Structure 1
Amino acid sequence: MRNRREEILMAALELAAEKGLGNVSLHMIANKVGIKKPSLYNHFASKEELVEAMYEFLREQAKANANIPAVDYSALFAGKTALEILQQVVGGYIRMTSQKNILTFYKVIYSERTIQPVAAKILAEETERMILATMQLFYAMEVHKLLHFRNPDMSAVSFAMTVHGLMDYDMDRSEAAEKAAHELLMNEYLAWFCEENAVK
């Protein structure tokens, strides 16, 4: 059973998906939950705080639903090639961000990032998380001699942004017949990346 905070977050998500983030007021959220607007302030000081809490909650929920464990490089690397590792990591991220609630949330904030500062802030934060996680992965792969990078930090930025762009492209052209082609494109990119950064 949902607690009150979760009810508020999910009500806000439903309203934002229906009306757009900028058109949703705290009063509307309170009405949907069946509480008075002042009661919302027991949970969130502002609409911006509510949206940021929604992002964290939905991200953690999606991560759990996609069965993404805490990073253990020894387990992740055991008996795998560099390509298999990247396929597993990228596949996990795609599974996580494809969960219904987080995908709805991303669609809302993507559409409003140019007019809602909180939406732009969240998208920038997600990109920064992706880049940092990729940097950590690449340093570990370098140490384990799975890949070699002349500049691991910039390689991580380039990789994360390319994967992100390919995922966006896949979402934009998500017809079933084309989906397989886009998955193939992602796999081709990962294979190329491993060849380009192979340990000599």
Structure 2
Amino acid sequence: MATLELTANKGLGNVSMNMIADKVGIKKPSLYNHFASKEELVETMYQFLREEAKKNANVGAIDYTAIFAGKSALKILKMMVGGYFNMNQQEHMLNFYKVIYSERSLNPMAAKIVAEETDKMIIATKQLFYAMEVHKLLHFTNPDMSAVSFAMTIHG
């Protein structure tokens, strides 16, 4: 959380391991006992924030049969988009995304995280669309392209 606070105020590229260690109240070598680099620390922060956001938004393993029961395709899509929106609108996750998205064109670490998040969104959407096909809720001429298009629209 100290890293998130620092990067939200100063930008990812302007925060050093020394600054993070000072903020936490430890020496820089102690910080390196836990993280080999700032990149590793930021990647770990991303994974932690994303998992916490999923828990807080009650987003877990998906049982498509239970989710689809008695619902229209439109209701299912709205529900899934709502879950993604709720997960990403949580304060810490939103602050993290503000930092990452603002620096994605300048910072390779930020670009990597944006690409990872985009890939996760596309994979989840493909799984949803394949399940909707199997359950005969929707039919796609090209489910992969439809999923990419939908995911990129929502993700954007």
The counterpart of 2:112, out of the listed 115, 118, 121, is 121
The Cα shift of 1:135 comes to 0.4
The Cα shift of 1:162 comes to 1.2
Q: Which residue of 1 aligns with 2:121?
A: 130
Question: Could you report, residue by residue, the CA deviation over 1:56-103 in whole angstroms, capped at 9, with x for unpaired residues?
Answer: 000000111111121110111111110110010000000000000010
Identity across the alignment (%): 75
1:44-193 equivalences under 5 Å are 44-165=35-156
User: Which structure 1 segments of 5+ residues have no match?
Assistant: 1-9, 166-200
Question: Could you report, residue by residue, the CA deviation over 1:137-186 in whole angstroms, capped at 9, with x for unpaired residues?
Answer: 10110010000000000000011011123xxxxxxxxxxxxxxxxxxxxx
User: 1:15 is aligned with what amino acid?
Assistant: L
User: 1:81 is aligned with what amino acid?
Assistant: S
Once residues 90 and 53 of structure 1 are traced to their aligned partners in structure 2, the CA distance between those partners, rounded to angstroms, is: 25
Q: Normalised by the size of structure 2, how large is the TM-score? A: 0.98
Q: Report whether the alignment pairs 1:34 with 2:25.
A: yes
User: Which structure 2 segments of 5+ residues have no match?
Assistant: none
Once residues 131 and 149 of structure 1 are traced to their aligned partners in structure 2, the CA distance between those partners, rounded to angstroms, is: 16
Once residues 35 and 117 of structure 1 are traced to their aligned partners in structure 2, the CA distance between those partners, rounded to angstroms, is: 27
Q: Which residue of 2 aligns with 1:190?
A: none
Once residues 115 and 45 of structure 1 are traced to their aligned partners in structure 2, the CA distance between those partners, rounded to angstroms, is: 22
Q: Normalised by the size of structure 1, how large is the TM-score? A: 0.77
Structure with max Cα Rg: 1
Once residues 60 and 3 of structure 2 are traced to their aligned partners in structure 1, the CA distance between those partners, rounded to angstroms, is: 28
Question: Could you report, residue by residue, the CA deviation over 1:108-138 in whole angstroms, capped at 9, with x for unpaired residues?
Answer: 0111111110100000110110000000110
Q: Which runs of 4+ in 1 moved over 3 A?
A: none
Greater RCO, CA 8 A, separation 6+: 2
Q: How many residues of Structure 1 are paired with residues of Structure 2 in the alignment?
A: 156
Once residues 109 and 162 of structure 1 are traced to their aligned partners in structure 2, the CA distance between those partners, rounded to angstroms, is: 18
Once residues 45 and 95 of structure 1 are traced to their aligned partners in structure 2, the CA distance between those partners, rounded to angstroms, is: 32
CA RMSD after TM alignment? 0.6
